[in-house]
Amino acid sequence: MRDPIEKAAVLHEALPYIRRFHKRTFVVKYGGHAMVDETLKESFARDVCLLRYVGIQVVVVHGGGPQIDDLLSRLGIAPAFAAGLRVTDERTMEVVEMVLGGKVNQDIVGLVCSHGGRAIGLSGKDDHFIRARPEEPARGVGPDGEETLVDLGRVGRVESVDPTIVQRLMQEGFIPVIAPIAVDEAGRALNVNADTAAAAVAAALGAAKLVLMTDVAGVKDRDGKLLSSVRAQDIGELIATGVVTGGMIPKLQCALEATRGGVEKVHVIDGRARHALLLEIFTDRGVGTEIRRAGAG
């Protein structure tokens, strides 16, 4: 009887969180290994459907870097990066749109629908609901190995999000699945970092939570111990003192922007762990790192 009793205890632990977040909005940035491993893909789709079934409005914003690299390689185009952003010339932008707005987006939609959810795919080009401006040149390495300013091409910085189309889809019971492609003032497509897009969408929707799925356990202290909770106002110090380094810096900067935009909490979780999304949201201890804005409970 022990196993059934433990399962019942888990459900009881989840109940207050289900009650608290009923009809609230969660934005989940889906990326990393969880988008590649077949078992994790199935697990993610089931978890998203469960969230929707218990009354939480779920929006998925996805990445797709490895899939873009794969198609670029097959086309004989060498990927290039500067300051952590993909240098996106005209040919690369075509590939980004084919991969993110096409195959990857529709694969996720199909997966969610196969597990009983109602999902619809879209990008910021739809109704021009994500508007951006071209990023400034970034520091990178030139052809001779010297540091130089690199023109990022069709890379965008989000300026505004009109959440109307997403809200209407949620009201009709759908799970919007968003490819991080925006438009500039001339209507040209721009490639936007998925974390940045997710943060902007979450702020525009007044989301209760933004969940960033990564390939690491979360934010760690100097001794490598996982920090279960971080105050948004402490992020600057964590970066300045070198506690947080590398790829975690832009994620925490996105988290900070989201909390400044009104998102109550941002969660950084390890997408390589099955059901990490549910365990972070519906258990007292969680499994990743939560970033709390001032005044959030």
Please give the average pLDDT of every successive group of 10 residues along the chain, which has 297 residues.
70 90 97 92 96 97 95 95 92 97 97 97 97 92 76 96 98 97 96 97 98 93 92 92 89 94 96 93 91 73
Backbone angles phi, psi at 182, to 5 degrees: -115, 180
Q: What is the tens place of the pLDDT at every residue in 138-157?
A: 887 766 677 888 899 999 99
Is residue 297, in this structure, part of any structural domain at all?
Answer: no
Distance between CA 238 and CA 252 in Å, rounded? 10
Count of residues making up the chain: 297
pLDDT at 214: 92
pLDDT of residue 12: 83
* pLDDT for 295: 61
Question: Which residue segment(s) compose the domain that 23 sits in?
Answer: 2-292
- For residue 126, give the CATH number of its domain: 3.40.1160.10
Give pLDDT, residue 120: 98
Q: Is 138 inside a domain boundary? A: yes
Asked if residue 82 belongs to a domain, the reply is yes
Q: What are phi and psi of 78, to 5 degrees?
A: -80, 125
Question: What's the total number of domains in the chain?
Answer: 1
The answer to whether the predicted template modeling score (pTM) of the entire model surpasses 0.75 is yes
